[in-house]
Amino acid sequence: MDTTTFSVDLLQGVSPEADCLECLVALPDAIQRLREARDDPGAITFMISHTKEAFRALDARPRQNLLMMAAGAQDQLYRHIAALTILDTYTRFYFRDVIRYFFAQLSERNVRTFYVLDNALRDDRLALVLELFDLAGISTTTPRRDGKKWESLATRMRHQVQTAGHVAYIEPDAEVNYIEAAKALARDVGCVATFRNLGIEDPHMQLLAPLKAQGEPRGGQRMETSQIDVKAEIDRYFDDSSIPKGAPPRAVIIHGATAVGKTTIRRERYSAGFVILDAAEIFLSLCRGRYLDFPGPLEEPMELVGFGVARRITRERRHFVTEIIAAQVDPTNQLIDALGGAGYLVDFVGVTCDVAIAWERNVNRGDNNISAYYTEPYHRRWLLASL
């Protein structure tokens, strides 16, 4: 499908694609059911379970169907937010748990989305969009909040594509006009790229690039997954020492600022008895001694291996260790709560050091020493999608 207008209404009916989108399409009714259920956790669990089964059914269909479904996701979400009249705890719960899970399922299937929005928005409505997109796992950029220089905005969004996987550029007024530049960036970064400049009452938006182009990164040849023994890459992280002996499984989350020594602590204290979930370790193993930018052409196989390790960890109830920065409170709490809810004993291990020492370490960081700043989003996404 070439650049053209598109509407999520095209996917209505009985199909796996429609089932996947149901958590978005039926968002107002679903939130109302949450309010009526009060504090019953089963309501959220049911919605997530339905979405999980719908994605599994969609896996048997052509990838183009998955990409077409993903193309409507951010726009459908925005239209609901723009019409929202009540913002309460239940709304936030739904976005944080159900909608975030939906976008994590897209990420698990190596689908990234980039939404360019050109709609006039008051400050209060813009703040609402930014808050709820963030809860849904979508990284946002807007000149009203993030500065007026295009070079800085573009750098921010390129980083968001690599770390979050789902990005929205929102231009809420005429103070700047970077829409064409944003559309060009969205086309260039290998995402399902869409654009809206119509009012929310119109269901149509624009596809910015052929859907088949999604997942084809520029500036380097992607390594085909068929060239890699994914099972062997997953198996190398497992041995019998990580199997709990009559006790609940432990999740060790080592956290701290950049270059404070998290990896050193992990290697000293947790090199045995724990499965290591580390995107950097997976990436370097796949590099086979070559120098490549992270994640570069290895992102797709790295994602497959990472999700495979996380799934096996949770299904076999293994002890594991991972590293994060934990600068963002809500996503960190979401991960801890999800692990605790799944029966894990969570050890939240903080690491600190003198600022001058951390600065020197970071400046002298080697090519093979990849910061948790870049790997944390993968770790959180893999674990949340596997629970």
**What angle, rounded to 10 degrees, do the helices at 150-163 and 179-188 form?**
30
pTM of this structure: 0.57
SS3 348: strand
19 in Cβ contact with 50 (< 8 Å): yes
**Per-residue b/e over 248-283, b at no fewer than 16 CB within 10 Å?**
ebbbbbbbbbbbbbbbebbeeebeebbbbbbbbbbb
Written as six digits, the tokens of 300 are 């797709």
Q: Is 7 exposed, middle or buried (0-12, 13-18, 19+ CB in 10 A)?
A: middle
> In the predicted model, is pLDDT for residue 124 greater than 90?
yes
One-letter amino acid at 134 equals D
Written as six digits, the tokens of 338 are 């999800």
Q: What is the pLDDT of residue 220?
A: 43
Written as six digits, the tokens of 359 are 């600065």
Written as six digits, the tokens of 211 are 């859907």
299 in Cβ contact with 377 (< 8 Å): no
- Quick: pLDDT tens for 125-179: 999 999 999 999 999 999 999 999 999 999 999 988 877 889 999 999 999 999 9
Separation CA 335–CA 346 (nearest Å): 10
Average pLDDT of the segment spanning 243-247: 93
Q: What is the pLDDT of residue 12?
A: 53
Q: What is the pLDDT of residue 271?
A: 93
Task: Report the sign of the C-alpha dihedral through residues 277, 259, 271, 332, in that order.
Answer: negative
**Confidence band for 288, pLDDT divided at 50, 70 and 90:** confident
Separation CA 124–CA 139 (nearest Å): 18
Q: 99: phi > 0 → left, psi -120 to 50 → alpha, else beta; which? A: alpha
Q: What is the pLDDT of residue 1?
A: 37
One-letter amino acid at 91 equals T
- Supply φ then ψ for residue 248, to 5 degrees: -60, 150
Which numeric CATH code is attached to 225-386? 3.40.50.300
Of all residues in the chain, the percent with pLDDT exceeding 70 is: 91
Written as six digits, the tokens of 261 are 């020594």
Q: What is the pLDDT of residue 146?
A: 95
Give the domain ranges of the chain: 5-213, 225-386
Q: What is the pLDDT of residue 43?
A: 73
> In the predicted model, is pLDDT for residue 221 greater than 90?
no
- Quick: pLDDT tens for 33-83: 888 887 666 778 888 888 988 998 888 888 888 998 999 999 999 999 999
SS3 117: strand
203 preceded by a cis bond (ω within 30 of 0): no
- Quick: pLDDT tens for 306-338: 999 999 999 999 999 999 999 889 889 999 999
Of the given ranges (45-54, 145-154, 218-227, 275-284), which has the lowest mean pLDDT? 218-227
Of all residues in the chain, the percent with pLDDT exceeding 90 is: 58
Query: How many C-beta atoms surround the C-beta of residue 186 within 10 A?
Result: 25
104 in Cβ contact with 137 (< 8 Å): yes
The bridge status of strand 250-255 relative to strand 275-276 is unpaired
> Of 81 and 227, which is predicted with more confidence?
81
